[in-house]
Chains A and B, each alone.
Chain A
Amino acid sequence: MKMSKLVLAGATLLGLGAMSPAGAVDLNGAGATFPYPIYSKWFFQFNQETHNQINYQSIGSGGGIRQMTEGTVDFGASDAPMTDEQIAAVKGGVFHLPTVMGAVAVAFNIPGITSLKLDADVLSGMFLGTITKWNDPKIAALNPGEKLPDLAVNIAHRSDGSGTSNIFTNYLSKVSPDWKSKVGFGTAVKWPVGVGGKGNEGVAGLIRQIPGTIGYVELAYAIENKITYATLKNAAGNWTEPSIASTTAAAAGALADMPDDFRVMITNSPGAAAYPICGFTWLLVHPSYESSKDKGKTLVEFLRWAYAHESMASALYYAPLPDELIAKVNARIAQIKF
């Protein structure tokens, strides 16, 4: 028994390739943590059907971009599009492929209040620290009938760098010139006021713990943990709640202005039913895999398979891309050489 186990272990060590099914290819990727649940589901399902193994390390967008630049992975993933300089640093270049979308919910804790309406002006005012009380006339004007208390507004934001912060601050930069000039947008910014919590759970914890707190969390997290979130006025002037449908609507609304490289933040989308604070997450692939044809072939096979299985995203509270956009992305995938 012992001997046979040893022999087996030796064989595994020596001939991993020989052990896996004929023709199967290993791909390695690294990057964003936000889409990890849907990616790992895709990779698992894809492996079941084709026996090709895709390994993904969810080390964060920054790490994904760095590993892509250093050429240590076959593909990367990021919640924020790469800058021109970053792309120039990657040997062979980069294609951005939007995979799914996420929405950012504005969650709050005001004793006695279960529904809250906010517009861009009020939201940016609170995060800039110019609106400091919940009974501020500006908030009251949006919420007639609600008895807003004389309570200090406390801001909760992410303390860790995150794509969620990137989407949220990008929205504030688009709707508020003050925010744009004073803070700007990014995965980590210089917050004018408030306290930071680590991860969605950290921010949600702060909101729960401190009465009067308002913050932002991923929609999936807000739904799964039954956190009350605000209804927001979108660019078209309609009141919208964050949901899978309103997020997909945001992408559909932004289609007209979609750049060819898909590097776009779709916050404050003009669509009538669009939720204003949402964004893509991207897979980063090389335009050419001619030096390792097998990998290129498998990667393209996976990408086509994944975009045919966009519907798997909804179960995990990611919004699938609208069909027109999937068609555009598939056209880009067809350009990958191998």
Chain B
Amino acid sequence: MEPRTTDLPARSGEVPSSIRETGSRLSRFLSARLFRTITLVFAASLLLWAGAVAWLLFVASKPAFAKFGWGFIRGTDWDPVNGIFGALPFIWGTCVSSAIGLLIATPLGLGLALFLTELAPQKARSPVSFMVDMLNAIPSVVYGLWGVFVLAPLMRVHVDPLLMKSIGTPFFGPPDTGLSLLTAGVILAIMVVPTIVSISREVFEAVPDIFRESAKALGATRWETMRLAVLGSSKNGILGAIMLALGRALGETMAVTMVIGNNPQISANLIAPAHSMASVIANEFTEAVSDIHLAALSEIGLLLMVLTLILNVLAHLLVWATTRKFKAVKA
């Protein structure tokens, strides 16, 4: 544990002279207290902020909850004209497109990060890392435009027909418009790869060299060294990287809405158009005229928040479970 800031005045004898000369004991005590209070306020404000958002969404979605109850989550109909709203097609679209995105992005990102930290020649490392970080800064609407003009036609003309021929229904069947769950998943993968790479690269770099040297000394090959020394001791960090990526994928709005086809249906067909939770809010909020429509959109927002929370908790539990096992083995 780090020493607490309030310990400072009592241990003034150990403080380097440069700090000691900046003020009296009292003023240093006060400034430490002040600093502590300020940071406490910052920390509390974040909680308050999240709580306020959740509360606002809860209040705004009350009419929808009163009308549809838990059936809102199970409902598959989204019919603003007749005031019937069900969230399942949107939950389905968000979860499946994010899952596809992570399935593609995780091996790609981890492989790239391993290459950068373990295999790439020194000269190549920083330019490639720089490029990866740059990708993080591209606005999602730009990814979306690229998706519409480049990726969707590519999927329609080349990838989808291939999948229809080789695997076929029920997962890959007509109509083939290029706008689909799969295309949304692919664009999400491209968007979250930089997140996974940046974080897991940091994690891999934090693995002490002595681990690698020990593995090699025991006769491990290069691959075994990476697997045992680097990947083995980075499980938590990797999971953290994937969770951050998942968070971005779940909430992504613009890029997804531009390529997913915006048709709220639940189908095993991955190349059929679908819809997502964030997309429907962004699409329908401004022109939602009836109160129940607005309430339903707010409830989708609340559900998206809850979904993210549940997945985060699950991930933390997973981390906790794996580290406990790890510790048990060590003991």
Contact = CB atoms under 8 A, between A and B. Distances in A.
B21 interface: no
Interface residues of A, number: 36
Contacts of A194: 263, 273
Main secondary structure of the interface of B (DSSP, over half): loop
Interface string A167-205: 000000000000000011111111100111110001001
Contacts of B294: 62
Contact of B283 (A61, A160, A206): A160
B149 A188 contact: no
A123 interface: no
A327 interface: no
A160 B177 contact: no
A202 B262 CA distance: 11
Interface string B279-295: 10011111111000110
Given A188-B80, A189-B81, A209-B178, A198 B283 contact: yes
A163 B81 CA distance: 14
Contacts, number: 100
Given A186-B80, A186-B81, A209-B178, A196 B261 contact: yes
B77, B152, B275 pick with most chain A CB within 10 angstroms = B152
Given A65-B289, A188-B80, A205 B148 contact: yes
- The secondary structure that dominates the A interface is loop
B78 interface: yes
Interface string B14-46: 000000000000000000000000000000000
B7 interface: no
Nearest to A132: B175
Contacts of B178: 209-210
B81 A160 contact: no
A187 B261 contact: no
Contact of B80 (A189, A197, A209, A213): A189
A168 to B, nearest CB: 13
A67 interface: no
A160 B287 CA distance: 8
Interface string A76-107: 00001000001000000000000000000000
16 contacts: A61-B289, A62-B287, A65-B289, A154-B177, A160-B284, A160-B287, A187-B80, A188-B283, A189-B79, A195-B262, A195-B273, A196-B273, A196-B283, A198-B258, A198-B262, A198-B282
10 closest cross-chain pairs (CB), A and B: A161-B287, A196-B262, A60-B286, A159-B262, A184-B81, A195-B261, A190-B79, A160-B283, A187-B287, A62-B289
Interface of A: 33, 59-63, 65, 80, 86, 152, 154, 159-163, 183-191, 194-198, 202, 205-206, 209-210, 213
Interface of B: 77-82, 148-149, 152-153, 156, 174-175, 177-179, 257-258, 261-263, 273, 275, 279, 282-289, 293-294
